[in-house]
Structure 1
């Protein structure tokens, strides 16, 4: 699995709009239509639509 990257300020605002705590998530993969985010502690991954 690729390592996740820290979020930018705009990405934190966008992820918070999905009711996720942005302090707990890293971005692993950014595609044109979706983002793969990974939880910092548990390693659980979620997919959210790209803005």
Structure 2
């Protein structure tokens, strides 16, 4: 799996809307309607609306 990238400001806002702390998540894939994010420590994957 590719390494995740630090989220941009808009991506951080999307994480906040999903009630997630953006400090704990990295962006694995950014699609126009979805964000695939990975937890920094546990490598748990999630998909949230962008």
Range of TM-score over shorter length: 0.7 to 0.9
Instruction: Structure 2 unaligned segments of length 5 or more: list them.
Output: none
Residue of structure 2 equivalent to 1:20: 20
Q: CA deviation at 1:13?
A: 1.7
TM-score (structure 2 length as normaliser): 0.86
Runs of 4+ in 1 over 4 A off after TM superposition: none
Instruction: Structure 1 unaligned segments of length 5 or more: list them.
Output: none
Aligned ranges for residues 23-34 of structure 1 at < 5 Å? Answer: 23-34=23-34
**Number of matched pairs:** 50
